[in-house]
Chains A and B, each alone.
Chain A
Amino acid sequence: MMLLNSDQVHSNNEDQSYDWSWYLQGARNLFSLPAFILLSAFVGFGGLAREAGLPLAHLIFLVPTIWALPSHLILLAGIVSGASLLAIAPAVALAAIRMMPMTMALIPEIRAPHTKRWHLLLVSNLVAITAWVHTLQKAKDIPRRGRLPYFVGFASTMAIATTVAAALVHQLAPSLPPAIMACLYFLTPIYFATSIWNTARAKAEHIALGVGFVLGPIATWYMPQANILIAGLLAGIVAYALHRILAPKIGTE
Chain B
Amino acid sequence: MFYNSFEVWWWPFLFILIAGVVPTSVWRWAGVFLVGNLDETSEWLVFIRCIATGLVAAVIAQFVFNPTGTLAELPLWLRLGAAFGGFGVFLVTGRKVIVGVVVAEVLLLTGFWLT
Contact = CB atoms under 8 A, between A and B. Distances in A.
A197 B88 CA distance: 12
Interface of A: 33, 37, 44, 47-48, 55, 58, 61-62, 65-68, 70-73, 75, 77-79, 82-86, 88-90, 92-93, 95-105, 107-109, 117, 120-121, 124-125, 127, 129, 178-179, 181-183, 185-198, 200-202, 204-205, 207-217, 219-220, 227-229, 231-237, 239-240, 243
- The residue in B24, B50, B60, B104 that gathers the most chain A C-beta atoms within 10 A of its C-beta is B50
Nearest to A55: B12
Given A104-B35, A186-B108, A235 B63 contact: no
Nearest to B66: A220
A207 B54 CA distance: 9
B61 A101 contact: no
B100 A187 contact: no
B40 A212 contact: no
A169 to B, nearest CB: 13
A106 to B, nearest CB: 8
A99 B31 CA distance: 7
Contacts of A190: 82-83, 86-87, 100-101, 104-105
A90 to B, nearest CB: 7
A109 B70 CA distance: 38
A162 B73 CA distance: 25
Interface of B: 1-3, 12-13, 15-35, 38-40, 42, 45-71, 73-74, 79, 82-83, 86-87, 90-91, 95, 97-98, 100-101, 104-105, 108-109, 112-113
A79 B16 CA distance: 9
A59 to B, nearest CB: 10
Given A102-B31, A121-B29, A70 B59 contact: yes
Given A182-B70, A183-B109, A209-B53, A124 B32 contact: yes
Given A189-B63, A209-B54, A236-B53, 4 more contacts: A85-B19, A89-B18, A213-B58, A213-B60
Contacts of B53: 196, 200, 205, 208-209, 212, 235-236, 239
B29 to A, nearest CB: 6
B54 A232 contact: yes
